[in-house]
Amino acid sequence: MVNVVVRAPLRFLDQAIFAPRPLTSWEAYWALADSRKAMTGQPPVPRPTGHNPTISAWARVDDGRWIADCPHGCGAAFNLPANSTWFWCTECAGGGQGHTVALVWPEGAERLTVNLESLPTTLQFWPCAACRPHLADGAGVCPSCRGMQGLEV
């Protein structure tokens, strides 16, 4: 059996399709997504209608970019605009509820970013695949992942 790195299936549109400027907010992403969908006659992407603070999405690094996986289990993942405090999935419209959820960044995210940037992009993943399930269940990550954060090992 061969181990294959599983990468987020979806990327922000500026990575898949040229964006005229960097996308630095959810609003900028929605505007670009809407313009792309309009070209093919599709309806605009859904917008949030509320916030559910009882559900969390967890920021992680995938292939050199900060992303969060949809906490509703639809399988989507999105790049995170800098300093985001909430997450929204346009694929399942917040689990069909229309709500954003809290976004949790790892402790030492700045240090983690610096440490990861010292590696080639193809090696910039955090946490490791074995630790990914521990982000949501509250259990600790392995010593290697803690070390990347600049935390005591």
Residues 36 and 77 in one domain: yes
If you average pLDDT over every residue of the chain, what do you get?
A: 80
Q: Is residue 43 part of a domain?
A: yes
Q: Is residue 1 part of a domain?
A: no
On the question of pLDDT at 3 being above 70, the answer is no
Residue type present at position 65: R
Question: Residue 22 has which token pair?
Answer: 């960097």
The residues, ordered by sequence, that sit 6+ positions from 85 with a Cβ below 8 Å of its Cβ are 102, 103
Domain C-terminal end among 73, 88, 105 = 105
Query: Please, which residues bridge with residue 11 across strands?
Result: none
Domains contained in the chain, number: 2
Residue 150 burial class via C-beta count within 10 angstroms: exposed 0-12, middle 13-18, buried 19 and up: middle
Phi first, then psi, for residue 88 (nearest 5°) are -140, 130
Q: Is residue 35 part of a domain?
A: yes
Per-residue pLDDT, 124: 84
Residues 19 and 78 in one domain: yes
Quick check: pTM over 0.85?
A: no
Q: Is residue 139 part of a domain?
A: yes
Residue type present at position 5: V
Smallest CA-to-CA distance from 12 within 74, 62, 72, 86 is with: 62
Residues 98 and 120 in one domain: no
As a dihedral over the C-alpha atoms of residue 26, residue 74, residue 149, residue 109, rounded to 10 degrees, the angle is 10
Range of the domain at 121: 107-153
Lowest mean pLDDT, pick from 3-7, 24-28, 40-44, 92-96: 3-7
Q: Is residue 72 part of a domain?
A: yes
b/e per residue, 91-126, with b = 16+ CB within 10 A? bebbbeeebbbbbebbeeeeebeebbeeeeeeebbb
Q: Is residue 2 part of a domain?
A: no
Q: Is residue 59 part of a domain?
A: yes
Per-residue pLDDT, 153: 65
Q: Which residue has the higher pLDDT, 144 or 6?
A: 144
Residues 18 and 93 in one domain: yes
Residues 121 and 73 in one domain: no
Smallest CA-to-CA distance from 89 within 109, 79, 39 is with: 79
Residues 86 and 121 in one domain: no
Residues 89 and 33 in one domain: yes
On the question of pLDDT at 143 being above 50, the answer is yes
Residues 29 and 97 in one domain: yes
Residues 54 and 95 in one domain: yes
Q: Is residue 42 part of a domain?
A: yes
Q: Which residue has the higher pLDDT, 89 or 138?
A: 89
Per-residue pLDDT, 22: 64
